[in-house]
Amino acid sequence: MISQVFILSSQGDHLIYKDFRGEAGKDSINMFYEMVTSLSGAQPPVVMRNKNLNFIHVRHSGLYWVVSTKDNPSPFTIIEFLNRLAALTKDYCGSLSEKSVRMNFALIYELLDEMVDYGYIQTTSTDILKNFIQTEAVTSKPFSLFDLSNVGLFGAETQQSKVAPSAAASRPIVASHGEQGGKNEIFVDVVERLSVVIGSNGVLMKADVEGEIRVKCYLPTCSEMRIGLNEEFSIGKSQLRGYGAAVRVDECSFHQAVKLDEFDTYRILKVCPSQGEQTLMQYQLSDELPCAPPFRLFPTVEKDYGSRLLIFLKLRCDLPPKSVAINVSVTVPVPKGSLSLSQELSSPEQSAELQPRSKAVLWTIPRFPGGAQLSAVFKVEVPRLSSASLLEVGPISMSFELPKYTCTGLQVRFLRLSPTQPGLSQRWVRYVTHSDSYTIRI
């Protein structure tokens, strides 16, 4: 029985994480990576155990493909499942590189949903899975609005010949009981996931954005929906200039049901939505951000008197003044064996706690307005504290949510339905950015 499936890069970046049973926390990822990297041998064992968790993993293209479980299933069954998952990922995504996995994360999650049900492996058959996988990745080439040879770059004029037909493309996804169904509503969500690494000198070392446009349709009938994006939206390294704010991504892929005949010229997506949820578009921006990173941290770590470690953090939110970050948490690794924590926080809404199991201090901020600056002082009791213990502090990681905000600047200009819906129909466009991996070295 499978508890979790996750895929890690060779540096420990979290690419895919799926929890099927809620038996183990997300800290099991770090637990596995610490175990696998602390071994001196060139080839770590395929099966490892830590406390009450078993980890079974394989490596493909430098990535760790891992299953965690509290039971004792046959390792050969799990290894076969992981190898099959990797093979199917390669078939659908074209390669097993870190970039390809990041770009096609929605497809891989969909694969896992169809292959595993509540921890039990259901099928690994390609013939069965191809009837349910709804996302077909199409990698774009460098694009320019003025290069007519690139018309149909995403397969618009030959889309049916490039994408194998699937019964799942028209399969309705009915909302479960209690969800927002039955109303005359349609939701368009622009969701982005941000990965950032900031060096100890404050220099931005890595910045990746993975985004997608999702549609949830609860309309009784809708023959066609047209979604207009930023007029100056470019794919690739082309530098476009115009009246609107330029938005650029490196790669883009579309659901096979999306019609792209107006996309090249007018940046309009056309689709006939079925009841339920669909991911219409996925995109990725690598190694740059069009804006400043949302958070900057200024840390100071020093040895206080006795066996006390002093950590001073000043955290600045560089979002626009009208924006806000919510559910912000800052995780500060501390030396092994830390016993107690005293704290001084800049506002009463914040909280902090020492987590001995994960060897970290967790600083929680429910709401963080743009342009604001908060501070915290942590005094940690560490037996046999030495200068070497200071090296165990960091790197610091953050998680947060940015509602009504996209890092790329992607916006929906309009949302039009055809034919016009009778009666009162509600159309909602929502934006949100989540932290995928936000690391600050100290």
pLDDT in tens, 76-91: 889 999 998 988 888 8
Which of 50-59, 193-202, 244-253, 331-340 bottoms out in mean pLDDT, i.e. has the lowest? 244-253
- For residues 181-196, average pLDDT: 83
Three-class SS of residue 93? helix
Q: Per-domain residue ranges for the chain? A: 4-129, 148-291+407-440, 295-403
Q: What local confidence, expressed as pLDDT, does residue 143 receive?
A: 37
Evaluated on CA atoms 259, 234, 245, 192, the torsion sign reads positive
- For residues 236-247, average pLDDT: 60
- For residues 381-404, average pLDDT: 86
What band does 335 get if pLDDT is binned at 50, 70 and 90? confident
Q: What local confidence, expressed as pLDDT, does residue 298 receive?
A: 92
Torsion, Cα 99 100 101 102, to 10 degrees, reads 50
pTM of the model: 0.59
What band does 302 get if pLDDT is binned at 50, 70 and 90? confident
Integer angstrom CA distances of residue 344 from 311, 364, 377: 11, 13, 5
In the beta sheet, which residues pair with residue 16? 7
What band does 315 get if pLDDT is binned at 50, 70 and 90? very high
Residues 17 and 6 sit within 8 Å (Cβ to Cβ) = yes
Q: What CATH code would you report for 295-403? A: 2.60.40.1170
Distance between CA atoms of residues 438 and 433, nearest Å: 12
Predicted confidence (pLDDT) at residue 307 exceeds the cutoff of 90 = no
Same fold flag, 148-291+407-440 and 295-403: yes
**pLDDT: which is higher, 425 or 431:** 431
Predicted confidence (pLDDT) at residue 175 exceeds the cutoff of 60 = no
Predicted confidence (pLDDT) at residue 413 exceeds the cutoff of 70 = yes
Q: What CATH code would you report for 4-129? A: 3.30.450.60
From the list 222, 228, 217, the residue with the least C-alpha distance to 185 is 217
**pLDDT: which is higher, 240 or 349:** 349
- For residues 233-240, average pLDDT: 71
Q: What local confidence, expressed as pLDDT, does residue 152 receive?
A: 34
Three-class SS of residue 126? helix
Which of 18-22, 221-225, 436-440 bottoms out in mean pLDDT, i.e. has the lowest? 221-225
From the list 7, 222, 238, the residue with the least C-alpha distance to 100 is 7
- Can you count the helices (H) and strands (E) in the chain? 7, 25
- For residues 308-318, average pLDDT: 92
Predicted confidence (pLDDT) at residue 423 exceeds the cutoff of 70 = no
pLDDT in tens, 88-113: 888 877 788 888 887 777 778 778 87
Q: What local confidence, expressed as pLDDT, does residue 313 receive?
A: 93
Q: Kindly state the percentage of the chain with pLDDT values over 90.
A: 28
- For residues 288-300, average pLDDT: 90
Predicted confidence (pLDDT) at residue 339 exceeds the cutoff of 90 = no
What band does 57 get if pLDDT is binned at 50, 70 and 90? very high
Q: Which residues contact 267 (CB under 8 A, 6 or more apart)?
A: 228, 229, 230, 231, 233, 413
pLDDT in tens, 8-53: 988 888 888 888 877 777 788 888 888 888 876 666 788 888 878 8
Q: What local confidence, expressed as pLDDT, does residue 163 receive?
A: 33
> What mean pLDDT, rounded, does the chain reach?
80
- For residues 264-293, average pLDDT: 87
Distance between CA atoms of residues 217 and 171, nearest Å: 13
What is the CATH topology of the domain spanning 148-291+407-440? Immunoglobulin-like (2.60.40)
Q: Kindly state the percentage of the chain with pLDDT values over 70.
A: 82
Q: 371: which DSSP letter? A: T
Predicted confidence (pLDDT) at residue 219 exceeds the cutoff of 60 = yes
Q: What local confidence, expressed as pLDDT, does residue 136 receive?
A: 40
Residues 137 and 103 sit within 8 Å (Cβ to Cβ) = yes
Q: What local confidence, expressed as pLDDT, does residue 1 receive?
A: 79
Residues 66 and 8 sit within 8 Å (Cβ to Cβ) = yes
Distance between CA atoms of residues 211 and 408, nearest Å: 9
